[in-house]
A and B are shown apart, each in its own frame.
Chain A
Amino acid sequence: MSKMLQLPLRSRQQWASIALQAALVVVIGGLAYGAFINAADNLAKAHIASGFRFWDNTAGFDISQTLIGYSPSTSTFGRAFWVGLLNTLLVASLGIVLATALGFTIGIARLSRNWLVARLAGGYVELIRNVPLLLQILFWYNAVLKSLPDLHSSISISGGAFLNNRGLFLPRPEFADKFDYVAAALVFGIVATLAVRIWARRRQERTGQPPRTLSFAFGLIVVLPLLVFFAAGAPLSFSFPEVGRFNIRGGTEILPEFAALLVALTIYTAAFIAEVVRAGILAVSQGQTEAAQALGLRSGSTLRLVVVPQAMRVIVPPLTSQYLNLIKNSSLAVAIGYPDLVQVFAGSVLNITGQAVEVIAITMAVYLFLSLVTSLLMNLYGRTVGIVER
């Protein structure tokens, strides 16, 4: 076939495929619209209130943990939604950070040449991933609650903190206006340290000499803000928790529901991450380690500079699904009364308004959104650790 003939053929195929896809979009859109109309129609026929007017109505119920201002008497259902969402984000993001740290540690430990360490790590993985997460959450919750003393025999921790079966109560920092200077000094210190690090790396690449930057960093991040802090007249005070008749007043509190959920999610997900990490490391050929050692790198540096960066390529995709699992699993919070999105929104709000269709649709959309964003971020990160073709 000549070139002249090929071109139109290919573009004809392209056109056909575009037309097909467009038709598909129209069909799917039509189905979705039809479903929507049908739903509205059914609800109206059954005299069930529908729509989103409830969003601005007063919620009327209390929530135990609120990261943003919320009062049962004035806040709306919409506000309750945000409170629940933030609680989900809090436990999920902390869970992801902690599970990653613990998972990497266990995964690497499982490959340790130290027999005991490797066996302990192996035992951890087998034990944890074979027990249903819900049971683990209930276990931690009851273990936390049962083992802690009640209010009047609270364990008091030096520095003005208390621990009892109502939670961990910490002094709450109260920042005066001048604290802004301290914060500014800290930000400056961090930025400057990063700049020094970049300079140091460049110099090492040029001269082969790694300059010592640790004392610089210490000075910039710790000493400088401290100096500013005292110069500004120590603009920080604490509100201390005190024992009241029923509960501790003042201070900030960490609820047992939150602690139990976070611990359970971390420990559970870490077991899976450990396996992902182990698989990733094993996927890096032994020759890489040998080559690194032949260059005179110590085993710590070999792991950090040679093995892990290559293993990351294998680790990132399954790690992403572990993160997604953790986010979704955080909704098991309902079992122990942690006020996450499902508990607050698909629980209280759904029941009080009775608008199941709307509330469930929003809740699903939120989890979908969170999952997509997480995947997107992880894909971007995956690209930075992927093999750079030269």
Chain B
Amino acid sequence: MQRLATAFAIAMVLAFGAQAASAQTLKAVQDRGQLVCGGNGTLAGFGMPDPQGNWVGFDVDFCRAIAAAIFNDTKKVKFVPLTTANRFTALQSGEIDLLARNTTWTMSRDTTLGLDFAGVTYYDGQGFMVRKSLNVKSALELSDAAVCVQQGTTTELNLADYFRANRMSLKTVTFATANEAVRAYDTGRCDAYTTDASGLYGERLRLADPSAHIVLPEIISKEPLAPVVRQGDDTWEDLVRWTHEAMLNAEELGITQQNVDDMLKSNSPDVRRLLGAEGQFGQSIGLTNDWAYRIIKAVGNYGESFERNVGQGSPLKIARGLNALWTKGGLQYGLPVR
């Protein structure tokens, strides 16, 4: 009932509240002196408070990058932990300015929710985790298996599709939160747990004995994870999109948190445009021209954020894979700043 009540409250705001002027997000954020960012809250590597209560993670860094671009201060962000169930409503109702919560960009979400996706920050895909003791080598052996899954996700739908397409029978046990699903899997209620592969690595760390579980090789879906904004505020959408592009361009150009001050003296036109030494790019998105300099100074380039949160510098040790730069065989491709 409690969950229902929160959902109800948000639905009511949506239905009856006079809509806040929708094209004013940047101004609202500046006036408030703080960015309000919807995050995950329980997913290691992506968005979770550390023991001191500071939010850390890949999605969190993205919000901090935007705070750096606007305020030159990564602390001016308030994180709101959201479940799969209330994430979109929270954005629609104006409770948050931006949703950065391992959210898959799909056509139906893009076209029916009144929301827009602003660039793929992480190319992911859905995988399965099983106990080693089951001796399963492939997801195709899972016919008849009980699978724990979180509801309200693309995961839930892909799972049913995959089993149907491969003519396997399925016993799904669906939970409202990842916490509950993982706990049930850990107690043996299910043979397998399924979610985005990135999530599997994060959630595995929470199990009683992480080394007793393996991630199966099959990736059964495309999960382009993207930050989300309300539809109809193009300035804000530009700002969010170009924050990601700036971080990618920085990596492509070899600009890091360490060397960004030296790079200001570079005479490469690409570097100079990105860092604001040339052109009016910051102003065109409502900021000062050193916006990208601030981002890189505060959180580093795309690769640095990746490695620190989910890659080799983190307990997750996820390889760059699809998220390597296009020049290194991946899909991340910084759009030109010019």
Q: Are A343 and B15 CB-contacts (below 8 A) given A73-B160, A166-B146? A: no
Instruction: Enumerate chain A residues within 8 angstroms of B157, measured Cβ to Cβ.
Output: 60-61, 352
Residue of A nearest to B190 (CB): A166
* A-side contacts of B15, CB under 8 Å: 35, 38-39, 42-43, 357
Measured CA separation A364–B1 after assembly (Å): 10
Q: How distant is A156 from chain B, measured CB to nearest CB, in Å?
A: 18
Q: How large is the interface on A (under 10, 10 to 19, 20 to 34, 35 or more residues)?
A: 35 or more
Do A347 and B114 touch (CB < 8 A)? no
Contacts of A43 in B (CB 8 A): 14-15, 114
Give the interface residue-count category, chain B: 35 or more
Inter-chain CA distance A354–B142, complex, in Å, is: 31
**B112 x A48 contact (CB < 8 A):** yes
A72-B7 in contact (CB<8A):
no
Q: Is the CB of B32 closer than 8 A to any CB of chain A?
A: no
Question: Which B residues lie within 8 Å of A42 (CB)?
Answer: 14-19
In the assembled complex, which residues on chain B have CB atoms less than 8 Å from the CB atom of A357? Answer: 11, 14-15
| A21 beta carbon closer than 8 Å to chain B | no
Q: In the complex the two chains form, what is the Cα distance from A342 to B134 in whole Å? A: 34
In-complex Cβ contact of B145 among A63, A64, A247 (8 A): A247
For A39, give the chain B residue with the smallest CB separation: B15
- Does A212 sit at the interface, judged by CB under 8 A? no
How far in angstroms is the closest Cβ of chain A from B137? 13
**Is A61 a contact of B156 with CB atoms below 8 Å?**
yes
Query: What distance in Å separates the Cβ of B162 from its nearest Cβ neighbour in chain A?
Result: 11
Number of A-B contacts (CB under 8 A): 167
Residues of A within 8 A of B30 (CB): none
Chain A residues within 8 Å of B201, by CB = none
Q: Is B232 an interface residue (CB 8 A)?
A: yes
Could you pull out 18 A-B pairs where Cβ atoms are within 8 angstroms? A42-B16, A42-B19, A61-B159, A62-B170, A62-B174, A63-B174, A150-B188, A166-B171, A247-B191, A337-B181, A342-B4, A343-B151, A346-B3, A346-B4, A347-B174, A351-B84, A351-B153, A352-B157
Q: Which residues of B contact A (CB under 8 A)?
A: 1, 3-4, 7-8, 10-11, 14-19, 22, 84-85, 88-89, 92, 108-109, 112-114, 134, 142-146, 151-153, 156-157, 159-161, 163-164, 170-176, 180-181, 184, 187-189, 191, 230-232
6 pairs of A and B residues whose beta carbons are closest in the complex: A351-B152, A39-B15, A49-B112, A48-B114, A72-B160, A47-B114
Given contacts A62-B163, A257-B173, A356-B88, 20 further A-B contacts (CB under 8 A): A35-B15, A42-B14, A43-B14, A46-B14, A46-B231, A62-B160, A63-B174, A64-B172, A64-B174, A73-B160, A145-B184, A145-B189, A339-B174, A342-B1, A342-B3, A343-B176, A347-B151, A354-B108, A354-B113, A364-B8
